[in-house]
Amino acid sequence: MLLPRKLLPWRRPTHAQALARRLLRSTSPSDTDDDPPFRKIPKRDPPRPPSPPPKPKAVAGKIRADEPASSDLPFDFRYSYSETDPSWKPIGFREPTRFSPFGPGRLDRPWDGVAAAVRGNGGDAREGVVGARSWEDVLGEPLSEAEVAELVERYRHSDCSRQINLGKGGVTHNMLDDIHNHWKCAEAVRIKCLGVPTIDMDNICFHLEDKTGGKIIYCNINILILYRGRNYDPKERPVIPLMLWKPLAPIYPRLVQNITEGLTFEETKELRNRGLNSTPLMKLTRNGVYVNVVDRVREAFKTVEVVRLDCSHVGTSDCKKIGVKLRDLVPCVPLLFKDEQIILWRGKMNHENLDSAQSNSNP
């Protein structure tokens, strides 16, 4: 019995079918390159231009200089000049004093953990020498009122491109180099002050003039304009080695004692509780302008004995710095730093002075 034709799987294809399959296979794009008769001749790429000689690799900056830098500035190098006092003696350090923030072997002055002392006797920074001239010669003749007004009008606006921001670090060492960089192309530089240093603007002005040799020609609240001088030459600017990192602050004695001097433990506790429960005299913001804080505290001490300052979101470190400045400027006695609140006591001496002043004013 014969099977149907369609059930014969071994049936061979005809010659026409085999030829059609071969033609289809030869014309497919995937097999074109594999067919020897139709293989394409590879095109030669155009000759490439000769490559330029390799550039020498940039040498990374050396941490250790070939020779230590030497500076003629007649004052000790510190991280901050306006926020530290040479009379403060630390009781410890948070990092080894052998690690200088100027880098190993980059400065010819030894680092003692607080400052890089000047070699020799030093002297007054105002008598410093720039090149072969003193700073007084660089300033030249005083500016006239018209010249001062012209410079102030040019640099006092907020869109001035010659501006340096002075923050909670105060007048820092690297800021001196920034000021001289601006003085290359401008006669003066605008300085905007914010934060704790604004409590004592006179201190900022003193250190800016003392460490740079310039002259403050404008001071309005927290805006300063520092003039470079008539005879300033950028090519004769002083050598100012830069600090490579911010050194850790030393450890100083406690600012607030458990028992305030001149009071008993009960009296100290009573004053602290009275201050915490009192209405805050004013609220300080973070990196704000504290120009009028000293006057406000002095005025409040004429009527009250304890004052509270609300320093929410200011920071514990800034609170203590504010307390130290008020202690020296008002003067007063810090009683407590708790939950970003500052409690100040006017002290017995201040109370006696106020009473004597009132008695003398009344005949």
Any long-range contacts for 274-278 (C-beta under 8 Å, 24+ apart)?
274/306, 275/306, 275/307, 275/308, 275/335, 275/336, 275/343, 275/344, 275/345, 276/308, 276/336, 276/338, 276/341, 276/343, 278/304, 278/306, 278/307, 278/308
Last residue of a domain, one of 217, 236, 255: 236
In a domain? residue 126: yes
What range does the domain containing 102 cover? 77-236
pTM: 0.75
Contact indicator for 226, 187 with CB cutoff of 8 Å:
no
In a domain? residue 35: no
Confidence bin at 347 (pLDDT 50/70/90): confident
Last residue of a domain, one of 218, 236, 254: 236
Same domain for 213 and 291, yes or no, is no
Angle between helices 293-300 and 316-329 (to 10 degrees): 60
Token duo for residue 53: 């000689």
Token duo for residue 186: 């401008």
Same domain for 133 and 191, yes or no, is yes
pLDDT tens digit sequence for 252-276: 998 888 888 888 999 999 999 999 9
Confidence bin at 358 (pLDDT 50/70/90): very low
Same domain for 215 and 108, yes or no, is yes
Question: In this structure, what DSSP letter does residue 286 have?
Answer: T
pLDDT of residue 135: 80
In a domain? residue 12: no
Task: Scan for tokens 């000689």, then name that residue.
Answer: 53
pLDDT of residue 104: 87
pLDDT of residue 360: 46
Same domain for 296 and 164, yes or no, is no
Token duo for residue 288: 């704000």
Average pLDDT score over residue span 336-351:
84
Token duo for residue 195: 């934060």
In a domain? residue 62: no
Q: Is the pLDDT of residue 297 over 80?
A: yes
Alpha helices, DSSP H, located in the chain:
15-27, 135-139, 145-155, 173-183, 201-212, 265-277, 293-300, 316-329, 348-361
Among 58-62, 276-280, 311-315, the least confident range: 58-62
Angle between helices 173-183 and 201-212 (to 10 degrees): 70
The pLDDT mean for the chain works out to 83
Task: Scan for tokens 């231009």, then name that residue.
Answer: 49
Same domain for 215 and 279, yes or no, is no
Of all residues in the chain, the percent with pLDDT exceeding 70 is 80
Burial of 354 (0-12, 13-18, 19+ CB in 10 A): middle
Residues 6 or more apart whose Cβ sits within 8 Å of residue 247: 79, 95, 101, 113
Return the higher-pLDDT residue of 207 and 136: 207
Confidence bin at 192 (pLDDT 50/70/90): very high
In a domain? residue 286: yes
- When divided into structural domains, the chain yields a total of 2
In a domain? residue 141: yes
Confidence bin at 363 (pLDDT 50/70/90): very low
Contact indicator for 238, 128 with CB cutoff of 8 Å:
yes
Burial of 282 (0-12, 13-18, 19+ CB in 10 A): middle
Same domain for 281 and 156, yes or no, is no
pLDDT tens digit sequence for 91-146: 999 999 888 999 888 888 999 999 999 877 655 555 555 555 788 888 889 899 99
Same domain for 93 and 160, yes or no, is yes
Same domain for 231 and 83, yes or no, is yes
Q: CA-CA distance, 303 to 229, in Å (whole number)?
A: 47
Same domain for 207 and 276, yes or no, is no
Token duo for residue 135: 């700073």
In a domain? residue 200: yes
Q: CA-CA distance, 289 to 199, in Å (whole number)?
A: 8
Same domain for 81 and 229, yes or no, is yes
Question: In this structure, what DSSP letter does residue 92 have?
Answer: B
In a domain? residue 70: no
Of all residues in the chain, the percent with pLDDT exceeding 90 is 50
pLDDT of residue 126: 55
Same domain for 302 and 221, yes or no, is no
How many degrees, rounded to 5, is the angle at CA 266 between CA 263 and CA 271?
Answer: 75
Q: Find the CATH number of the domain harbouring 293.
A: 3.30.110.60
pLDDT of residue 291: 93
What phi, psi does 87 have (nearest 5°)?
-75, -15
Same domain for 347 and 281, yes or no, is yes
Three-class secondary structure assignment of 171-218: CEHHHHHHHHHHHCCCCEEEEEECEHHHHCHHHHHHHHHHHHCCEEEE
pLDDT tens digit sequence for 16-63: 777 777 766 655 555 445 556 656 667 777 787 887 887 776 555 565
Distance of alpha carbon 182 from the chain centroid: 17
Q: CA-CA distance, 198 to 219, in Å (whole number)?
A: 12
End-to-end Cα spacing for the chain: 151
